[in-house]
Chains A and B, each alone.
Chain A
């Protein structure tokens, strides 16, 4: 691994994103709009239901958006020949993976800061724990989304196929993460499945931060999310072959 090359790749990905206004809007503005929409939906209901679903959304958006954007951009890189060219140059696989992870991690940090800022500042989401830690969870979550996106891009030939992984990999995690039914209330088998899905831990961490100032459990959840992200990157590295058919 070479810091110069990693930085070059991260900077390039960020330049590409800056050029692509629509994608940038989807990554930064759309989550804020959707969270506001949700707040509005729950606004007239008795009790503070937004406080229950809000944190889960803060965990979900970075994950979903980064999964989509990374799987499509890396697929483009694979099919457009630029990856082949880079692999013929003195670039390590890890330079490539970390370059992407750093760029998308930074975007995710901005995205989370915006979404958290709007939720807490404008929409009165109650957060008892430290707000910065909420952002850290969101960034870990985004890197997880990027890592899985990188991994699945190896199994798609077209951008359309890449997007098809979304219902297979992302939606089950959304259904089982505790947003619709609290995880302990799920049937035993489903609870066991949700226990091995990384998004569940990100949502747990977010929900914990809304209720409590203690951070021990949050760090535990964060470690699980980070471990999945690292495993995803390792799997992604496995799919990047310098020599291909």
Chain B
């Protein structure tokens, strides 16, 4: 299943981010391997979205070294290789799913067949001609995910893609993420729901802009001596206090 885990899509050293007047990320060091689903978990406001924005190159106030596939994050040549889902579904409300996908495909220089493929991948074929404003929240976030899949990016950065989805759909999406990882994609998924942790190959547990733990779910649970990630998180937080 897991491909060469030593190959890293992302390598970060001493990452510090200042937003407004506050330092939000405080000197992070981490890597994200290809061929795995890496979960970025932590409570609301801890800096997950900020970290993801750094990787795709849209965050200002960044210091430290952040390389993606060997190039500085945000480099022009990387823009074809990264699929990014922002936290709020970023598709056009007044266009249909097909029109949205066709537009982003044109921006990326891809054809309509690729747009259709991505609509199929997120299981929205039945709603392809519906205007996004008339979709449910979950359908809308899947439409946003479909855009990120365009052109088979080698790194997927997904900011809380499963929020508000029913259990069946969440299951489907997680399977999809693992399918992509198995095909060699580096998948980074954030969530503030700890029960999604078990679905990741590897976890980065974050709190207030620092990592509390970095490892497989099993390793983290063992180290903390806790039955699940939620308790592990709590016991690490208490241990640190």
List which B85-103 residues lie within 8 A (CB) of chain A: 86-95, 99, 103
Whether B95 and A88, one on each chain, are in contact in the complex, defined by CB atoms closer than 8 angstroms, is no
Whether A89 and B79, one on each chain, are in contact in the complex, defined by CB atoms closer than 8 angstroms, is yes
Task: Report if A245-B95 is in contact (Cβ < 8 Å); known contacts: A81-B86, A86-B107.
Answer: no
Binds A, one of B52-60, B115-123, B205-213: B52-60
Q: Which residues of B contact A87 (CB under 8 A)?
A: 58
Tell me if A20 is interfacial: C-beta within 8 Å of chain B.
yes
Of chain A, the residue at the smallest CB distance from B18 is A245
Q: Which residues of A contact B57 (CB under 8 A)?
A: 88, 242-243
Give the complex CA separation of A12 and B101 in angstroms: 11
Tell me if A84 is interfacial: C-beta within 8 Å of chain B.
yes
Tell me if A169 is interfacial: C-beta within 8 Å of chain B.
no
Give the complex CA separation of A80 and B128 in angstroms: 21
Tell me if A90 is interfacial: C-beta within 8 Å of chain B.
yes
Task: Report if A241-B90 is in contact (Cβ < 8 Å); known contacts: A12-B103, A19-B95, A91-B107.
Answer: no
Tell me if B108 is interfacial: C-beta within 8 Å of chain A.
yes
Task: Report if A84-B79 is in contact (Cβ < 8 Å); known contacts: A89-B108, A242-B57, A243-B59.
Answer: no
Q: Among B58, B95, B106, B107, which residue has its beta carbon within 8 angstroms of that of A84?
A: B58
Give the complex CA separation of A86 and B91 in angstroms: 10
Tell me if A15 is interfacial: C-beta within 8 Å of chain B.
yes
Q: Among A4, A16, A89, A91, which residue has its beta carbon within 8 angstroms of that of B95?
A: A16
Give the complex CA separation of A11 and B131 in angstroms: 17
Tell me if B174 is interfacial: C-beta within 8 Å of chain A.
no
Whether A242 and B92, one on each chain, are in contact in the complex, defined by CB atoms closer than 8 angstroms, is no
Q: Among A82, A88, A243, A245, which residue has its beta carbon within 8 angstroms of that of B92?
A: A82
List which B36-94 residues lie within 8 A (CB) of chain A: 53, 56-62, 74, 76, 79-80, 82, 84, 86-94
Whether B56 and A88, one on each chain, are in contact in the complex, defined by CB atoms closer than 8 angstroms, is yes
Give the complex CA separation of A7 and B94 in angstroms: 19
Tell me if A85 is interfacial: C-beta within 8 Å of chain B.
yes
Expressed in whole angstroms, the minimum distance between the Cβ of A136 and any Cβ of chain B is: 30
Of chain B, the residue at the smallest CB distance from A7 is B106
> Contact residue range for chain A?
20 to 34
Q: Which residues of B contact A8 (CB under 8 A)?
A: 103, 106-107
**Which of A82, A87, A241, A245 is packed against the most chain B CB atoms within 10 Å?**
A82
Q: Which residues of A contact B108 (CB under 8 A)?
A: 89-90
Q: Which residues of A contact B88 (CB under 8 A)?
A: 80-81
Give the complex CA separation of A63 and B103 in angstroms: 28
Give the complex CA separation of A89 and B95 in angstroms: 19
Give the complex CA separation of A8 and B99 in angstroms: 11
Expressed in whole angstroms, the minimum distance between the Cβ of B66 and any Cβ of chain A is: 12
Q: Which residues of B contact A88 (CB under 8 A)?
A: 56-58, 79, 82, 84
Whether B103 and A84, one on each chain, are in contact in the complex, defined by CB atoms closer than 8 angstroms, is no
List which A121-142 residues lie within 8 A (CB) of chain B: none
Expressed in whole angstroms, the minimum distance between the Cβ of A180 and any Cβ of chain B is: 38
Whether A245 and B61, one on each chain, are in contact in the complex, defined by CB atoms closer than 8 angstroms, is yes
Give the complex CA separation of A11 and B95 in angstroms: 12
Task: Report if A85-B86 is in contact (Cβ < 8 Å); known contacts: A4-B106, A19-B131, A91-B107.
Answer: yes
Q: Which residues of A contact B227 (CB under 8 A)?
A: none
Q: Among B60, B76, B89, B104, which residue has its beta carbon within 8 angstroms of that of A244?
A: B60
Of chain A, the residue at the smallest CB distance from B106 is A8
**Which of A20, A90, A241 is packed against the most chain B CB atoms within 10 Å?**
A90
Whether B59 and A244, one on each chain, are in contact in the complex, defined by CB atoms closer than 8 angstroms, is yes
List which B129-160 residues lie within 8 A (CB) of chain A: 131, 147
* Contacts beyond the supplied A11-B106, A12-B103: 9 A-B pairs with Cβ under 8 Å: A7-B106, A12-B95, A80-B88, A84-B86, A85-B84, A88-B56, A88-B84, A244-B59, A245-B20
Could you name 27 residue pairs across A and B whose Cβ atoms are closer than 8 Å? A4-B106, A5-B106, A8-B106, A9-B107, A11-B103, A12-B95, A15-B99, A19-B131, A20-B94, A80-B90, A80-B92, A81-B87, A81-B88, A81-B89, A82-B92, A85-B84, A88-B57, A88-B82, A89-B79, A90-B76, A90-B108, A90-B109, A91-B107, A243-B57, A243-B60, A243-B74, A245-B19
- Give me the interface of A with B, judged by CB distance under 8 Å: 4-5, 7-9, 11-12, 15-16, 19-20, 80-82, 84-91, 241-245
Q: Which 7 A-B pairs have the closest CB atoms?
A: A81-B90, A8-B106, A243-B60, A81-B86, A90-B79, A88-B56, A85-B90
